[in-house]
Amino acid sequence: MRAYRIAAIPGDGIGKEVIPAGVEVLTKLSRMTNDFRLDFTEFPWGSDFYRSTGALMPEDGLDTLKPFDAIYFGAVGDPHVPDHVTLWGLRLKICQGFDQYANVRPTRVLPGLKSPLTDCPPGKLDWVIVRENSEGEYAGQGGRSHRGHPEEIATEVSIFTRAGVSRIMRFAFELARSRPRKKLTVITKSNAQRHGMVLWDEIAAETARGFPDVSVDKELVDAATVRMVNRPDSLDTVIATNLHADILSDLAAALAGSIGIAPTGNVNPERKYPSMFEPIHGSAFDIMGKGLANPIGTFWSAVMMLEHLGESDAAARLMRAIERVTAERKTLTRDLGGTAGTAAVTAAICSALEQS
Ligand code: GGG
């Protein structure tokens, strides 16, 4: 039997509710298939850990995670800890430490779910957004001087390297090529950002020459928001910088029905380090501890994790179970117009697995 070591990091807020739900579903699925085993180890890292130790994760946390086959992550964010401390102390430490430079964010309208757009049935909105996940606006370059004085200065420098942009462009073109429409939209802002974004555009054009079967177009990030709303079927695979894709993928999730359903994979394509899978939503402290969190984004992230591990039959089975539950519309959380809680949706997915 194939065995995989999975590091589970619930993190903060509703991460502590959705990750146990995901572990329950994955454990049931692996027992049903009898082909593979998932051995979970949970790490209590996050804002509570910070309060008791002064760090979001231990100093040797990356060494601890390195032998794992994958990381299953919940969320970071706490109302009593500055957001830049939580994000950089845990999630970005793992993404950047493990060179998970390809952040893959599929979005589509699942059967039974409704887009807030008029006339947007399943099939009309079916995107994968690729987020550059290692540099750009999140390079961590910059600083502050003369704190508290009138002449105080802060810089936040975006970094675009030829190596970093080339590898994510290749990844996005390959992903676009693997999808039926073979279509890639390159998001840019090179009209205003005339250095880094012009390099980005140039490398996109150079990379395109190696993918003659992929049709490519370019869109300014501001215009992209309009296009996502007005012409969702004109997009398929989308590549954008770290910050642009972060914003566009939240919009994408909302247009597909809810941020609660959207999954993501932080992938190290060379597999030198473990990749990390998580719902795109944050810690949602307003609903924490109430059992209301939508676990579907966490389950869909598990689908991505299984695909990454090579367990494509199990991944497809879990996706079918998710779609069966959304199509029935009987057991949905409040963000999707239902009244069910996390536990009821988890139970519905577990029972749908039996029929999928
Ligand atoms: N599960 C995703 C998560 O916890 N995100 C928290 C967050 O604030 N992310 C901001 C970002 O990734 O740019």
Task: Identify the residue whose C-alpha is closest to ligand 1 atom 5.
Answer: 282
The tens digit of pLDDT for each residue in 117-144 reads 998 988 999 999 999 999 999 999 999 9
Ligand 1 contacts CB of residue 76 (under 6 A): yes
Q: Which residue has the tokens 């972060």?
A: 246
CB 171 within 8 A of CB 269: yes
The tens digit of pLDDT for each residue in 226-270 reads 999 999 999 999 999 999 999 999 999 999 999 999 999 999 999
Number of residues written out for the chain: 356
Distance 264 CA to ligand 1 centre (A): 11
Ligand 1 contacts CB of residue 246 (under 6 A): yes
Ligand 1 contacts CB of residue 280 (under 6 A): yes
Domain 115-256 bears CATH identifier 1.10.268.10: no
Task: Identify the residue whose C-alpha is closest to ligand 1 atom 13.
Answer: 246
The answer to whether domain 1-101+270-356 and domain 115-256 are alike in fold is yes
The tens digit of pLDDT for each residue in 14-23 reads 999 999 999 9
CB 164 within 8 A of CB 126: no
The tens digit of pLDDT for each residue in 281-303 reads 999 999 999 999 999 999 999 99
| Short-list 307, 284, 319, CA closest to 108 | 319
**Phi, psi for 204 (deg, rounded to 5):** -60, -45
Ligand 1 contacts CB of residue 137 (under 6 A): no
- Whether 351 shows a pLDDT value over 90: the answer reads yes
Q: Where are the domains of the chain?
A: 1-101+270-356, 115-256
CB 308 within 8 A of CB 69: no
Q: Which residue has the tokens 């793992």?
A: 94
Percent of the chain, pLDDT > 90?
97
DSSP structure class, residue 267: E
Q: Which amino acid is present at 132?
A: E
Distance 119 CA to ligand 1 centre (A): 30
pLDDT grade for 34, boundaries at 50, 70 and 90: confident
* Paired tokens of 267: 């992938």
CB atoms within 10 A of CB 92: 20
Which atom belonging to ligand 1 lies closest to the Cα atom of 283?
4
Distance 109 CA to ligand 1 centre (A): 22
Distance 74 CA to ligand 1 centre (A): 10
pLDDT at 39: 97
Distance 91 CA to ligand 1 centre (A): 7
Task: Give the helix/strand (H/E) hosting 28.
Answer: helix 15-33
Distance 206 CA to ligand 1 centre (A): 31
Q: For the packed helices 15-33 and 296-309, what is the interaxial angle rounded to 10 degrees?
A: 50
Task: Identify the residue whose C-alpha is closest to ligand 1 atom 7.
Answer: 282
- Whether 356 shows a pLDDT value over 90: the answer reads no
Q: Which residue has the tokens 């894709």?
A: 245
Ligand 1 contacts CB of residue 279 (under 6 A): yes
CATH level 3 topology of 1-101+270-356? Isopropylmalate Dehydrogenase (3.40.718)
The tens digit of pLDDT for each residue in 92-108 reads 999 999 999 999 999 99
Strand pairing report for 126-132 and 237-240: parallel
* Paired tokens of 302: 């598990």
Q: Which residue has the tokens 């996390």?
A: 342
Q: Which amino acid is present at 47?
A: S
